[in-house]
Amino acid sequence: DFTGKWTPDVPADAPAGGGGGRGMFAGPMTVTVTGDTLTIERMMGENKSVSTYKLEGESTFKRTGRGGNEVEVKAKAKWDGNKLVITETAPGRGGDMQETTQTWSLDGGVLSIERTTGMGPVTIKYKKG
């Protein structure tokens, strides 16, 4: 169950500023799983960003993006064993549609999200609390 408040588990020797294409996926988040829906809430500066996914099937929603602008996101989620795979299509910086894939897994109370974009894969680990 992915439900809870999650904070990135950043190593003490990690450089300040981060980056690496992590963007909004590197901050704290609150995840709620209700029935067949997974909802993620996180702050983007002063704006709350909410993403709601059907756990099996397609979803369309608006999410606050860069500069507080809303973008339409189309997503498809499916289970691959005990991992949740979410594929999203949304406008990128230049307005071109971009596809990203997130693979969520839990191991020993640690949430790992591997995010793959055109820039390659990035894995962020989260701790509850």
61 versus 15: the higher-pLDDT residue is 61
Measure the CA–CA gap between 103 and 39, rounded to whole angstroms: 15
Confidence tier at 86 by pLDDT (50, 70, 90): very high
**The pLDDT of residue 46:** 79
For the segment 27-60, what is each residue's pLDDT rounded down to a tens digit? 899 999 999 999 999 987 777 888 999 998 899 9
Report the percentage of the chain scoring pLDDT > 90: 55
Those residues with Cβ within 8 angstroms of residue 31's Cβ, 6 or more apart along the chain or in another chain: 2, 3, 4, 5, 6, 38, 39, 40
**The pLDDT of residue 25:** 52
Task: Please state, rounded to an integer, the average pLDDT across all residues of the chain.
Answer: 85
**The pLDDT of residue 125:** 94
Measure the CA–CA gap between 41 and 52, rounded to whole angstroms: 9
**The pLDDT of residue 21:** 41
37 versus 117: the higher-pLDDT residue is 37
Measure the CA–CA gap between 74 and 77, rounded to whole angstroms: 10
Four-point Cα dihedral 46, 48, 49, 51, nearest 10: 170
Q: Minimal CA–CA distance to 75: which of 54, 98, 97?
A: 54
**The pLDDT of residue 22:** 43
| Residue 104: how many other CB atoms lie within 10 Å | 19
